[in-house]
Amino acid sequence: MAVLTLLGRRLGAAVLLLGVLSALTYGLLLAAPGGPEQVLLGGRPSTPETRAAIREQYHLDDPFPVRYARWLGDALHGDLGTSVYSREPVVTVIADRLPVTAGLAAYALVLTVVVGVPAGLLAAMRRGGRLDQGITLGSLAALSIPSFALSILLLYGFAVRLGWFPVFGEGRTLTERITHLTLPAVALAAAQAALVVRQMRAAALDLAASDFLTFARARGLPRRRVWTSYALRNAALPVLTVGGLLLAANLTGSVFVERAFGLHGLGALLIGAVGQKDIPVVQALVLLGGVIVVAVNLLIDLAYLVVDPRVRKGAAA
């Protein structure tokens, strides 16, 4: 029962968030300079006839709530309109660009986990030592470096000067793609990994000082048992909490990183669309961002349900 209430509440919040986000994005069309007709016409010359045609086609004479409801209904059916710039359906435009961004995000996520978790644990184990100070300082720095600045520095160092990696593009074959995406993924992963390092270190330190871990050792439990069912499971909880933050970093970070490395992913698409005032594409991308945020947060809630009996039995919100 408690599980259902919890899920219900979270779903409600998700719907509310998407509602607000969609209303905001739809409102963009009205707020854009030149008004909606101009935006939807794109760069084409406007005559009274074309304007009337546009008004007719997009039902611009209906009251705002009605138009918004119609647009939302279409969006829910997967119809996100047509790109003003390329004249293709928005869904096709996005599907074209998705693989690059998805590959980049996945690569960065792997780097984040592979580097962040061990580094955080290592820092906690060597608490106060040189290594810990180094890792802590490094993670703080990585957390504050803007991803585009890091991109430029990496690009100059490893691509221009050392020539280890390509400067531009995303490659065709799988191996090419991996080498092309390495530097961007590092730039994207730095801040996320730093977040994981800090969270992991704090969780491990909390754990090391916890009575229940001492009590487990005092009962002479085997090392493996202490590590798995005590240390890892309990440390997973606080690390899980930053999952949402990681995702936000991933989403916005990829916009900058794609720009810096000249990758043609969703981030580049967004910037292009913003520049060309291609509002239908912008709307779709913002909605997509919102849906991803909501979906990942729901996944994290589910993970909590699985790991933590207190949440499962409704003892904690």
Partner 1 sequence: MRAALTAVLGLVALAALAGPWLAPYDPAAQDLALGAAGPSAAHWLGTDEMGRDVVSRLLAGARSALFWPVLVALFTTALGTSLGLLSGYRRGWVDALLMRVVDLAIAMPGLLVLIVVVGVLGGGYGWAVLAMAVLFTPGDIRVVRSLTLAQRELAYAEAARTLGLRPGRIMFRHLLPNLAPTVVANALLSFTGALVALAGLSFLGVGLPAGTPDWGLMVEENRQLLDLNPWASIAPAALITVVACAATLLGDRAFESMSKGGVR
Partner 2 sequence: MKVTGLRVTGPGLIVDGVDLEVSPGETVGLVGESGSGKSLTARAMAGLLPRGLRATGSITLGGRELLGAGERVWRPVRGRRLALLMQDPFAMLNPLLTAGAHIAESARSRVSVAERLAEVGIDDPSVARRHPFELSGGMRQRVALAAALAGDPELLIADEPTTALDATTQHEILQLVRRVQRARGMGVLLITHDLRVAFELCDRVAVMYAGRIVEQGPAAEVRRSPAHPYTLRLLAAVPTVERRLARLEGIPGSVPAAGEVTGGCAFAARCEQVAPECTQARPPLREASPGRLTACLTRVRPRAAVHVTAAPPPEPGPPVLRVTGLSKRYGGHVALGGVSLDVRRGETVGVVGGSGSGKTTLARCVLGLAVPDSGTVELAGEGPRHRLVQCVFQDPSTSLNPAMSVGAALAEAAAQGAPGPRPTVSELLEQVGLPAAYASRRPSALSGGERQRVAIARALAVRPSLLICDEPVASLDVSVQAHVLELLRQVGTAMLFITHDLAVVRQMADRLVVLSRGEVVEAGEADRVLDAPAHDYTRTLIASVPGL
Cα 196 to Cα 188: distance, rounded to the nearest angstrom: 13
233-260 CB burial, b ≥16 within 10 A, e <16: ebbbeebbebbeebbebbbebbbbbbbb
Q: What are phi and psi of 105, to 5 degrees?
A: -65, -45
Task: Report the nearest approach of partner 2 to the CB of residue 244 (Å).
Answer: 21
**171/272 with CB nearer partner 1:** 272
Return the one option of partner 2, partner 1, none that residue 102 interacts with (CB less than 5 to 8 A, by type): none
Using the rule CB under 8 A, is 104 a contact of partner 1? no
**41/240 with CB nearer partner 2:** 240
Which residues, 6+ apart, have CB-to-CB distance to 30 below 8 Å? 36, 64
Return the one option of partner 2, partner 1, none that residue 23 interacts with (CB less than 5 to 8 A, by type): none
Using the rule CB under 8 A, is 224 a contact of partner 2? no
Sequence letter at residue 174: L
Using the rule CB under 8 A, is 234 a contact of partner 2? yes
Nearest to 5 by CA among 91, 13, 169: 13
Task: Report the nearest approach of partner 1 to the CB of residue 48 (Å).
Answer: 26
Task: Report the nearest approach of partner 2 to the CB of residue 212 (Å).
Answer: 5
Cα 157 to Cα 164: distance, rounded to the nearest angstrom: 9
Using the rule CB under 8 A, is 206 a contact of partner 2? no
Using the rule CB under 8 A, is 53 a contact of partner 2? no
**Per CB under 8 A, which of residues 203..262 are in contact with partner 1?**
244, 248, 251-252, 255-256, 259-260
Using the rule CB under 8 A, is 241 a contact of partner 2? no
Tell how many helices (H) and how many strands (E) occur in the chain. Answer: 15, 0
Bridge partners of 82, per DSSP, are: 89
Using the rule CB under 8 A, is 196 a contact of partner 1? no
Please say whether the beta carbons of 230 and 219 come within 8 A. no
Return the one option of partner 1, partner 2, none that residue 13 interacts with (CB less than 5 to 8 A, by type): partner 1
Q: Which tokens belong to 104?
A: 């980049």
Query: Virtual CA dihedral for 65, 68, 69, 75, nearest 10 degrees?
Result: -170
Task: Report the nearest approach of partner 2 to the CB of residue 125 (Å).
Answer: 10
**Which residues make up the interface to partner 2 (CB under 8 A)?**
127, 208-212, 214-223, 225, 229-230, 233-234, 307-310, 313, 315
